[in-house]
Structure 1
């Protein structure tokens, strides 16, 4: 993250310094009435033309309407709602007194990684403003988070539901003055059982007529639509088809393999010269833990992201993967959702996901920013039945292949012994518990 600039830096900058020619079929950020500090940040981030979710949602959200958006991770929805939030806060400054812990805008996200990623994006977009971004996530020091809240006013608060409720219960955070509420990945909130907590949080904010609500989901299930009816006021509905996810830049392979062949295939994949960095997904924490141990025993530099890992360690692991210190990152879907890394060359589905939408999220970790990526899935007798639902979501079939011979070469004897020893240790430990290291302003919009 670049250092924070002062708002005065944007005053010396003019829109003429940011030239983006009109292009047929494309919407520029210039085509919206965005302020100079935001446009300068957009320029520095290298944005030129809006993604579909940005082009379709910004006309409504910038005008103050609620927006219900269907969009996958990787489509630019984070920037879409952050630009709208930042513009609203800049154009409606608070003139009266403000108090510690009073949030003007609240963004709820289901996972700690996604919260931290959203906050990072928010800091980049507010670089030339005096707005303050705060994050609240579990697994990190409560006292430090509370001290930060007391030290700086809260303009944008990004939080997971459980940790936010902790801060509300202790009267360290107040939501009765929230002007904009963003609920990201509503379908994942449902899947993870967070909706009772989100309901409680929503009740702490102003009435839906007196706040702007932006809600995004990868799917519009009946449950998601019912929540939108309860929490939103006459929302504009924007839908971006899943096929718009960057699968065109991802070469997809599904290899038929027995469960016993998976470690051998993964080992040989990692020996290939074109594999620069790899994310490996499995469905359960215990699968990821065993896979992490297996890859370490085979001599690879590998990190683990799952819900049982301490948050500080997860942040360090992700940073090490981003800067190339780790070649492999093993992750669950919950931990891997929302991670933005532009240079992942390969994604491996060690097990096919139980939910077809997760397949799209997984392969979306590669082939980003227009680069080419490769996705390889191992389909064994235990999970091949999940393929039809994945193909139905993608709208096309994926050819199942026999794995190339070079992926089935035996693991060298020394490493095979190390792998067998690791598997034996996993069996010994399988029965043991695992331990991981206010202002008084209310603004009616109608």
Structure 2
């Protein structure tokens, strides 16, 4: 029995979410190793092939050509068809509940149901219950929905069902059948990841397109694929379209996610060009989602959709029911100690801390690292490759804390975020809702913490009015505001400006590997 078969048996026995995530990651690594092993098996045959020319030995170029094709194969490793096996829907047992829709009730394909089963979805969220019965009939939908409501799964299930029910034999490379547009790179990456999880047994190819990574490598992926689903940001997609690398004339279903964010970021002119290159709205299905609804969004929805089913999920359903919102009455000096002690004492493993400025979150990142807590940074100063790696580190537990600015707020989609800390409050209460929407996702419980400081207190009434929810005000206990003695010297360096980041962005002090090392640390002397 192969290792992969053993893993499949383990999945059936251990159905917890954490175990399944770990096992899926192991499966990917094993598959990658097997492909690498196949590549290495071919290379030795050509390794010592030499030609005689002018009395010299010249090694054959077969190895380099093979390496290049192997690289392209590895790029598209996740599009390898996953074996469906002998799974039966009867293994996916969900009890009926009054007035709550199950995925079983929607008549979905067994291949899609197996993906839903492994994602541990059981009952439809309110937005899925509103949308899916209509969108699965091919109707357009548009409306208001925050992140964390289950809207991504709603449009992905619609999309997979439509494509599998309408298989095509005559295909062209670089011509997607479904197009999902999102405003940020992080959101594109997350949607692609969700699509691969939900549709892993559907046999459809998925491609993402966004800026910040190698242009030519991404171009080669597009040119060599029969693309079923394309997830993209407007800028890079428009670039490839204008170069005729991508052909949008065969798009059957169009999804526009976070349309209000598209508007805020100035992407609407690009979106109009992209949509004009797709079939007219009478010949495609369109799904439009926005966190807010204003006249501009309603106008766009009327232009891009035909007789849509409208829906609206208010923000109060997210903030008041799923997320416990706490306001600590504290001074600016006490904020770091409170966060540090909550994370340490409660052994939190997946936390996001939001700040208003890049230098603020960068400084917080360095402070947590100096105190022995693994921490990552996400801001406009961070490269795209580093952003992707940091989010993966948060998902797999390599880091416990993520410090981020609002630039990244809507783009962070990581399951299991238990706490969101607002180190400084945003001026716009809508940004506050987007921040805390990183926790309490899809019906799970979460905690949001703000600080009622002298500087930020005037912003709190606006937040309470917008969310229609009264915050829980708490005077922190002494054990939360006290800084451990072994850390006080390190933190003093930050207050005096003696510790921090160089211009290169690296931390002056060495990383703290364990808590014992902290007590032996001495302040770093400033170079003369």
TM superposition score normalised by structure 2 = 0.75
2:112 maps to 1:32: no
Which digits, 9 at most, give the CA deviation of each residue in 1:309-365, with x for residues without a partner? 112111211122222221211012332325333333321001112332332332233
Between the aligned partners of 1:308 and 1:414, the Cα distance in structure 2 is 29
Counterpart in 2 of 1:405?
A: 478
Shift of 1:100: 1.9
The alignment partner of 2:188 has SS state of helix
Counterpart in 1 of 2:126?
A: 52
- How has the CA–CA distance of structure 1 residues 100 and 207 changed in structure 2, closer, same or farther, with 3 Å as cutoff? same
Counterpart in 1 of 2:145?
A: 71
Between the aligned partners of 2:173 and 2:255, the Cα distance in structure 1 is 21
2:490 maps to 1:415: yes
Q: 8 Å contact 2:144–2:291 — kept in the other structure?
A: yes
Counterpart in 2 of 1:317?
A: 390
Counterpart in 2 of 1:161?
A: 234
Which of the residues 193, 203, 218 maps onto 1:130? 203
> Could you list the runs of 5+ residues in structure 1 that have no partner in the other structure?
436-446
The alignment partner of 1:106 has SS state of strand
Q: Answer with 1 or 2: which has the greater Rg.
A: 2
Between the aligned partners of 1:173 and 1:388, the Cα distance in structure 2 is 49
Which of the residues 346, 364, 375 maps onto 2:448? 375
User: Which deviates the most, 101-110 or 354-363?
Assistant: 354-363
Counterpart in 2 of 1:220?
A: 293
- How has the CA–CA distance of structure 1 residues 99 and 418 changed in structure 2, closer, same or farther, with 3 Å as cutoff? same
User: Which deviates the most, 53-62 or 373-382?
Assistant: 373-382
Between the aligned partners of 1:394 and 1:236, the Cα distance in structure 2 is 26
Counterpart in 2 of 1:256?
A: 329
Q: 8 Å contact 1:293–1:422 — kept in the other structure?
A: no
Q: 8 Å contact 2:493–2:499 — kept in the other structure?
A: no
Shift of 1:370: 5.6
> Could you list the runs of 5+ residues in structure 2 that have no partner in the other structure?
1-23, 29-77, 507-528
Between the aligned partners of 1:17 and 1:273, the Cα distance in structure 2 is 36
Give 4+ residue runs of structure 1 displaced > 6 Å after superposition. Answer: 432-435
The alignment partner of 1:245 has SS state of helix
Q: 8 Å contact 2:127–2:150 — kept in the other structure?
A: yes
Which digits, 9 at most, give the CA deviation of each residue in 1:382-435, with x for residues without a partner? 433322232123222214444433333256432223323556656xx7xx7989
Counterpart in 1 of 2:522?
A: none
Counterpart in 2 of 1:349?
A: 422
Shift of 1:294: 3.0
Between the aligned partners of 1:170 and 1:434, the Cα distance in structure 2 is 36
Shift of 1:263: 3.0
Q: 8 Å contact 1:161–1:197 — kept in the other structure?
A: yes
Counterpart in 1 of 2:284?
A: 211
Shift of 1:198: 1.7
Which digits, 9 at most, give the CA deviation of each residue in 1:237-279, with x for residues without a partner? 0112223326434332112334344334333334423433321
Which of the residues 160, 163, 170 maps onto 1:86? 160
Between the aligned partners of 2:175 and 2:441, the Cα distance in structure 1 is 37
RMSD: 2.5
Which structure features the higher share of helix residues?
A: 2
Shift of 1:140: 1.2
Which of the residues 138, 141, 152 maps onto 2:214? 141
Q: 8 Å contact 2:212–2:383 — kept in the other structure?
A: yes
Counterpart in 1 of 2:514?
A: none
Between the aligned partners of 2:104 and 2:500, the Cα distance in structure 1 is 59
Between the aligned partners of 1:346 and 1:178, the Cα distance in structure 2 is 39
- How has the CA–CA distance of structure 1 residues 19 and 265 changed in structure 2, closer, same or farther, with 3 Å as cutoff? closer
Q: 8 Å contact 1:294–1:423 — kept in the other structure?
A: no
